[in-house]
């Protein structure tokens, strides 16, 4: 809290402490990953310990990779639209990872070893494992960086607090390709005695103006902004309250443009505003994702009192406040979550609970009562296996990526929801009978536009052939689905059936050959994105065909395609400047003896 009036006194000057540098000790939570659980390539766990590849630059399996990059993912119709556009994150955090360190320190420096496409880190948070309060250590806009490895050392906010957990937030939307991080180093001063650490924890070394910090009040970061704003307001404000002249309806209409934080502040202005700011129509859509660090049982309770006709609810990421904390608080939070969903079951149409630990069998049971649901997102939640969502019949979008859903339950859902358009099954490892699922989709979900099943290892060419029956399919993500099998003629039936295909991801179909791919290029004229990572048999010929024959093509990923020479790619890049041709750099620095 470095306000202008007070100078910051580093704690290490007044207490004798030990300076310590440490690499991450464990990974606690993450929202995105490239690979499945069984594999250590590209996995979050690669962030543990010292860097292994830095200062080399390239696409290394020993580093942590995020799944998405650039604008390509946002153009899809399956991507979640903001439920409450007023509450947007200025820095646009898309993913996060939480790391635990072995020793508790007062943070002074953090080094992030970025080994591929650096510049995605936008925020760093820190906290103590036993304390639910997060401290913002640094934030900044995503950066455009030169393509070389970088030891990123952001200037940390000067605070005297103890942390042993940090959370990095990423915005990859400006990157050319996947970003990769090799290691994270946290350095700072470690208290030598328990007494010292208690003093620091309770902030006894400095006088503190204690303000209660809930979502209705303010965060540390905003205090500075508010003090500034107050200065401006007092200069310009005339003693007449123009709002007196406006009718309630107009004020409420204006309130509709405000984010939740501003609304909460408005409610503190005067009685009239307080009454107006409680208007039910203001709280039909609620998205607390960007306030994840503030959301606790009390906050949920607060909103539960305001909402009547809740339509859209986004509680993604909103569990960090609770984690590892008190068992009873967890229990309360869990119950509150259930009761909110239950209370809104008649009206709720959109529900997003991505990366939320508290989604379990009980919560799924409550979700099942929300029969109006159109959009359901349960990305990255592992506390449930059985998913008896048999009462939902109106689903249009369903995101079950990174879950343990099993085929039996999924088939039941698919059969009951004829309007389903978007289905995301990335990295679902318990999904064994995928072929049967495709068969069900082809029969019951004629409107399906998006199918994603990145890394489903149980596909057979027969199952994939059935996608030919889904005529409305626009997006087909079958990356890593047929690693070591011969695809046969399954692409032919897709070429014949799915004329509207826009995005086709066939990463690592190592048995694919030119002849098998050509039918798609010849008949799917709508294709804008093709992904052919790691297919050795792809030749320059078929790439040229794709570039030439597909008028709408914008992205062609031929990384690790050894059959295509770099010189040819350079020529194509000049010939087709509107098409992005991705070519992952493999090894720039190799370790020699």
Please, which residue, 32 or 297, has the CB nearer to another protein? 32
Q: Residue 475: beta bridge partners?
A: 450, 503
* Three-state secondary structure of 14-67: HCCCEEEEEEEEEEEEECCCCCCCCCCCCCHHHHCCCCCCCCCCCCCCCCEECC
- 350-352 sheet: strands from edge to edge: 285-287, 312-314, 350-352, 375-377, 397-399, 422-424, 450-452, 475-477, 503-505, 529-531, 555-557, 580-582
According to the binding rule CB under 8 A, does residue 62 interact with another protein? Answer: yes
Q: Which is nearer to another protein, 320 or 531 (CB)?
A: 531
Binding mask 8-47 for another protein (x = CB under 8 A): ---------------------------xx-xxxxx--x--
* Parallel/antiparallel/unpaired status of strands 375-377 and 350-352: parallel
Residue 533 engages another protein in binding (rule: CB under 8 A): yes
Nearer to another protein, 59 or 114 (CB): 59
Q: How far is the CB of 246 from another protein (least distance, A)?
A: 59
Is 238 a binding residue for another protein by CB under 8 A? The answer is: no
List the one residue from 56, 473, 534, 555 that touches another protein (CB under 8 A). 534
Q: Kindly tell me which of 97 and 373 has the beta carbon lying closer to another protein.
A: 97
Shortest separation between residue 57's beta carbon and another protein, angstroms: 16
Specify the residue, 169 or 426, whose C-beta has the smaller distance to another protein: 426
Is the backbone of residue 10 left (phi > 0), alpha (psi -120 to 50) or beta?
A: beta
Report which of 562, 507, 573, 508 is spatially closest to residue 540, judged by C-alpha positions: 562
Site for another protein in 324-363 (CB under 8 A): none
Under rule CB under 8 A, residue 566 binds another protein? no
Of 463, 461, 518, 514, the residue nearest 487 (C-alpha): 461
Which of 59-67, 165-173, 273-281, 374-382 is the region at the interface with another protein (rule: CB under 8 A)?
Answer: 59-67
Cβ–Cβ under 8 Å, residues 172 and 70: yes
Residue with Cβ nearer another protein (319 or 537):
537
Q: Does 52 bind another protein (CB under 8 A)?
A: yes
- In the complex, minimum distance from the CB of residue 458 to another protein, in angstroms, rounded to a whole number: 14
Q: What angle do CA 183, 186, 192 make, to 5 degrees?
A: 145
- DSSP letter for 485, please: S
Which stretch in 169-177, 223-231, 355-363, 534-542 sits in contact with another protein by CB under 8 A?
Answer: 534-542
What SS3 class is residue 554?
Answer: coil
Q: Of 1, 20, 48, 433, which one interacts with another protein (CB under 8 A)? A: 48
Measured from the CB atom, is 1 or 48 closer to another protein?
Answer: 48
Q: Does 195 bind another protein (CB under 8 A)?
A: no
Rg, C-alpha atoms of the chain: 26
Can you tell me whether residue 226 is helix, strand or coil?
helix
Question: Which pair of structure tokens corresponds to residue 96?
Answer: 């996060």
Binding mask 455-494 for another protein (x = CB under 8 A): ---------------------------xxxxxx-------
Minimum gap (Å) between residue 157 Cβ and another protein:
32
Place of tokens 């991705």: 582
Tokens 């690592």 -> residue: 508
CA distance 396 to 81: 13
Residue the block writes with tokens 């059935």: 466
Q: List contacts with another protein (CB under 8 A).
A: 35-36, 38-42, 45, 48-49, 52, 59, 61-62, 482-487, 507-508, 510-511, 533-537, 559-560, 562, 584, 586, 590-593
């Amino acid at each position: 809290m470095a306000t202008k009036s007070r100078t910051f006194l580093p704690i290490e000057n007044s207490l004798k402490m030990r300076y310590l540098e440490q690499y991450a000790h464990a990974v606690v939570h993450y929202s995105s990953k490239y690979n499945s659980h069984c594999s250590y390539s590209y996995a979050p766990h690669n962030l543990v310990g010292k860097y292994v590849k830095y200062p080399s630059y390239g696409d290394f399996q020993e580093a942590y990779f995020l799944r998405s990059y650039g604008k390509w993912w946002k153009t899809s119709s399956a991507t979640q639209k903001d439920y409450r556009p007023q509450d947007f994150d200025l820095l646009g955090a898309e993913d996060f990872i939480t790391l635990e360190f072995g020793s508790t320190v007062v943070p002074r420096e953090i080094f992030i070893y970025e080994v591929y496409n650096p510049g995605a880190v936008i925020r760093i948070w820190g906290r103590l494992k036993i304390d639910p309060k997060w401290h913002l250590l640094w934030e900044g806009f995503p950066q455009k960086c030169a393509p070389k490895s970088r030891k990123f050392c952001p200037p940390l906010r000067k605070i005297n607090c103890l942390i042993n957990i940090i959370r990095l937030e990423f915005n990859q939307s400006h990157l050319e390709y996947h970003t990769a991080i090799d290691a994270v180093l946290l350095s700072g001063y470690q208290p030598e005695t328990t007494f010292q650490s208690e003093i620091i924890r309770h902030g006894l070394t400095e006088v503190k103006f204690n303000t209660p910090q809930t979502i209705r009040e303010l965060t540390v970061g905003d205090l500075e902004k508010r003090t500034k704003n107050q200065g401006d307001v007092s200069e310009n404000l005339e003693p007449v309250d123009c709002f007196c002249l406006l009718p309630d309806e107009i004020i409420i209409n204006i309130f509709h443009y405000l984010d939740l934080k501003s609304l909460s502040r408005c409610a503190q202005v005067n009685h009239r505003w307080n009454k107006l700011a409680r208007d039910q129509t203001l709280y039909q859509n609620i998205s607390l994702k960007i306030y994840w660090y503030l959301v606790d049982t009390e906050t949920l309770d607060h909103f539960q009192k305001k909402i009547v006709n809740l339509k859209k609810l986004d509680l993604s990421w909103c569990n960090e406040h609770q984690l590892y904390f008190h068992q009873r608080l967890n229990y309360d939070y869990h119950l509150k979550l259930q009761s909110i969903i239950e209370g809104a079951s008649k009206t709720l149409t959109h529900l997003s609970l991505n990366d939320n630990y508290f989604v379990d069998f009980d919560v799924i049971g409550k979700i099942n009562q929300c029969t109006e649901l159109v959009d359901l997102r349960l990305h990255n939640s592992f506390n449930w296996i059985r998913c008896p969502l048999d009462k939902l019949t109106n689903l249009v979008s369903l995101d079950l990526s990174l879950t343990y859903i099993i085929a039996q339950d999924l088939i039941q859902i698919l059969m009951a929801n004829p309007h389903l358009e978007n289905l995301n099954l990335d990295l679902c490892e318990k999904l064994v009978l995928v072929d049967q699922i495709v068969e069900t989709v082809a029969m019951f979900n004629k409107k399906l536009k998006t199918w994603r099943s990145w890394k489903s290892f149980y596909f057979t060419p027969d199952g994939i052939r059935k996608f030919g029956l889904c005529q409305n399919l626009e997006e087909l993500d079958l990356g890593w689905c047929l690693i070591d099998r011969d695809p046969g003629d399954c692409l032919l039936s897709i070429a014949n059936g799915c004329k509207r295909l826009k995005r086709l991801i066939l990463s690592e179909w190592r048995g694919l050959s030119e002849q098998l791919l050509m039918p798609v290029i010849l008949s799917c004229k709508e294709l804008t994105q093709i992904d052919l990572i790691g297919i050795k048999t792809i030749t320059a010929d078929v790439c040229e065909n794709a570039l030439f024959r597909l008028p709408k093509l914008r992205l062609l990923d031929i990384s690790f395609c050894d059959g295509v020479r770099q010189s040819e790619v350079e020529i194509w890049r000049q010939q087709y400047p509107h098409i992005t041709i991705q070519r992952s750099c493999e090894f720039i620095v190799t370790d020699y003896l």
